[in-house]
Every structure is written in C-alpha cells, then in structure tokens.
Amino acid sequence: MTGSARGRRTKEAEMYVVAKHAIQDPRTAFPRGERLQTGDGAPEGVRVLQFYPSTDASQVVCLWESPSLATVQEYVDAALGDSSTNTFFEVAAEPAFSERPLGLATVPMRHRREAASQ
C-alpha cells in the first residue's frame, strides 16, 4: 500500500484499529468484554466505536479509535486474558468507508439495560 493510501491520522482520531477476537470461553469473554465496551479503565484516547459479535458467540470484531495499535492491544489483551485469541490491525483510513447499518444500536447493551431499568 502506498504511503498516501495508508492514511494514518484523521481529524476524528489518531488512528482506527480493528480487533478480531476468536472466543475461547464465551462465558468469560463476554462479561470481560462489557468493560471494554463501556470504556472501564481505558487508556487516554482509546474508545471502542463498533462491536460485532457472531450469532454463535465464537467471534467478535471491534473497531477502535486510539493513539496507537499497541495501546488498544495492551488494553484488550489484559481485559480478555485467555478467554479470547486476539489479532489487531491498523485501518487504512483514506480508502476506508463506513455507514451505520440500520437496526443496530448506537450504545452498548449494558447502557441500554441500565437505561431501561431507570
């Protein structure tokens, strides 16, 4: 990929990082993952933007904004531990595109449950 296509920095975030999770233990991984979704203990500038679990709970793909790939990797690996095998890559921001699919929530499930109980 050429340097111009790599597009490391955008106006919105220093970089975008995709985390791909191969879930080893769903009963452990998903409760741990809720902390990631809500940003509990997240490093400065790290925020999950999208969360896509598979219907069989064997895989999850997430999109993050972060100052670096290493920052996301350290945060996610520490939170999920051995409940998931994780791989990461930096998104080539310039050629990438995104549109919010209809029917998907805009906040994590934990926040929706808390709002419903109030």
For residue 12, what pLDDT is reported?
A: 54
For residue 48, what pLDDT is reported?
A: 95
For residue 49, what pLDDT is reported?
A: 94
- Using an 8 Å Cβ cutoff, are 7 and 1 in contact? no
pLDDT per position in the chain (118 positions), as tens? 433 334 445 455 689 999 999 999 999 999 999 999 999 999 999 999 999 999 999 999 999 999 999 999 999 999 999 999 999 999 998 999 888 777 788 888 777 888 888 8
Token pair, residue 2, equals 């050429």
Cα 24 to Cα 54: distance, rounded to the nearest angstrom: 13
**Greatest Cα-to-Cα distance within the chain, rounded to the nearest angstrom:** 51
pTM for the model stands at 0.82
For residue 91, what pLDDT is reported?
A: 96
For residue 13, what pLDDT is reported?
A: 61
